[in-house]
Structure 1
Amino acid sequence: MGLFKQPEFFSLGVQLTPGLFIRGMQFPNAVEILVGAGDVAIRSRNRLWRGSDNDSVLLACGETFDLLLLRPDALSIGALTIRLSAVGHTLSSYSALWNVCASEVLENPREHWNAILMARRLGLSSEKLRHKLFAEGAALSEIIWKQRCMSALVMLSTTDASLNLIAANAGFKDKKHMQTMVGNMLMVNLDRLERPAIGDGTGPIRPGRAELPSRVFRIRP
């Protein structure tokens, strides 16, 4: 089974109405969203941004946002690119513990994460880890599953691997488990997503495919 390396950027697109809506996207990275075609709306706690062709917006590390992508017209494809900044791993007064934990999970979603393992990885006691996350209004279990969902979304948009292979690489029990969790956390129904066929989907997951223009989600009516 091939391992997945987090790309620096990936693309999302939509060919059919009603468009693509994703709720509660959240990365430990700072995020730049570049609109290739169509209309995009970004909603977070502190902003409501709308853009179209060649517009862009920057989002802070850990900022939770909803995304709506609409096609420019009946014959065109709506598309955008999401660029992820590098994330530091050093705990400091300038780095929220949430970000550090989320970064660990996003880079290694297959790991059997729990409080003991995360605390050991960060050089903390599990009790101190829980207390610090609680003070930030965060919970480790929510961090783990949100970042596994984000990892699965990136894999879906950058590889032609099967859903079962993506589920395994993203830390889910199986395809059904992934579909349920992604649906609950991001409001994306994977059964309605039709991905481009490049290979037979049985080979190893190949990273770095986001630059290909054929990386498009097509939503079945």
Structure 2
Amino acid sequence: WCQFVDAASRQSGHGITPRHFLQNTVNIIHKLQLGTRMYLNPVGLGDSSRLKALSSVYHCLELLTLQSEMLRDGGCPAPLLGASLVSLREMAVNFEMLRSNRDYQTPVCITVYNIISLPLLCMWMAPYWAYTLRTNEENQWIVFCLADALMLFVMWLLGVQRQLECPFGLDEDDINIQDFFIPSSYTDHLIQNAPIAPHEYLAFEDENE
């Protein structure tokens, strides 16, 4: 790929070295990862900030496609170039799946209704519990247990709903999207050892085979 970058650089006259090409690609990937994390972040972002993050993700995917086109201009064989294009398509498809999971949630009005109705549930059920206590004086402990169990069950359902609708975060039971990102230590190692002169191309590719 170093030779393809060199050939495309000479053809376009931009003077891009393989190290510059790799640095640009790594920067785009890091920006893509940052935009993905910001978009999936459950708290702390409004609609405008999330829209900017979404635009950043799409822009990064477009830039990565242009990087692949540069390799095509340098004479990269179709089978090798096709693998990168397939990877880009899979990245876009997987991001859309994450986006669907993040965006399509319970309407706000229903969520607010559930949050407000839960504390009022005790008041609504008070006449029934009072009647049950008066008619079952020998088994009053069962009434108290049922009242507590009902409240705990409803609170548990609301907690499950919130967790399923927003599974990304930093809690122990959340999905930390950053665990799936490319480590910076790996990309830094590639950039530091990226070739500059043509005689370094083969050694670099053998080292990172």
Say which structure is richer in helix.
2
The TM-score by the shorter chain falls in which range?
A: under 0.3
- TM-score normalised to structure 2 length: 0.26
- TM-score normalised to structure 1 length: 0.25
Say which structure is richer in strand.
1
Whose Rg is larger? 2
